[in-house]
Amino acid sequence: MEKRKDRRKVIVIHGPNLNMLGKREPEIYGKETLDEINVKLEKLAEKLDIDIETFQSNYEGKIIEKIQKTSGICRGLIINPAALTHTSIAIRDALLLLDIPIIEIHLSNIYKREAFRRKSMIADVVTAQISGFGVQGYIMALEAIAKM
Ligand code: DQA
């Protein structure tokens, strides 16, 4: 019997200041803009035959609302909460509502940086964390979710 395809989307959430990628501390976060990263992900999703939606917000509440709305329509979530990684119990609580693979991603290796970045409020509630591979981390996350 043919396997039924899961048409639910993979959602990629980018947190605060990631809209400034390209200009923002390129020696840490690289030279690629967020639009360029999203286009890369969209092309890969097409190749993998999966639907994808990308979303960026500088507001914690908007990110929480987006996570809440993914329930039922989302087959996997890739999230870089940016600075909110280190502070947001509210994002952690929202992620706990979901019953799908969740990949936490960071462009930089947060464990090699300032002490306040070494703590992630969500690391123990996500499926996996990718930290320090730059843009390649997003690619790895999408490929992993496609196989799950
Ligand atoms: C980041 C790391 C965070 O500490 C920082 O606040 C960011 C980006 C990363 O992708 O490396 O904005 O999540």
Confidence of residue 71 (pLDDT cuts 50, 70, 90): confident
Confidence of residue 93 (pLDDT cuts 50, 70, 90): very high
Which whole number is the average pLDDT over 79-103? Answer: 97
Each domain of the chain, given as residue ranges in start order, spans: 8-147
Residue 29 is among the residues annotated as catalytic for this protein: yes
Residue 59 is among the residues annotated as catalytic for this protein: no
17 within ligand 1 shell (Cβ under 6 A)? yes
- CB-side neighbour CA atoms (13 Å) of 30: 17
Residues 1-50 have pLDDT tens digits of 545 566 689 999 999 999 999 999 999 999 999 999 999 999 999 999 99
**Structural fold of domain 8-147:** Rossmann fold (3.40.50)
Residues 115-127 have pLDDT tens digits of 999 999 999 999 9
Residue 40 C-alpha to ligand 1 middle, in angstroms?
20
CA-nearest of 104, 23, 15 to 58 is: 15
Which whole number is the average pLDDT over 109-113? Answer: 98
- Enumerate the H helices of 49-104 as residue ranges: 60-70, 89-95
Confidence of residue 64 (pLDDT cuts 50, 70, 90): very high
Q: Looking at the CA of residue 83, tell me the nearest atom of ligand 1.
A: 6
Residues 122 and 148: beta-carbon distance below 8 Å? no
Burial of 13 (0-12, 13-18, 19+ CB in 10 A): buried
- The pTM for the full model equals 0.95
Residue nearest to atom 6 of ligand 1 (CA): 83
| 34-48 helix and 136-147 helix, angle to the nearest 10 degrees | 30
Which residue is listed with tokens 């039924």? Answer: 4
Residue nearest to atom 2 of ligand 1 (CA): 82
Percent of the chain past pLDDT 90, that is, above it, reads 93
Average pLDDT, the chain: 95
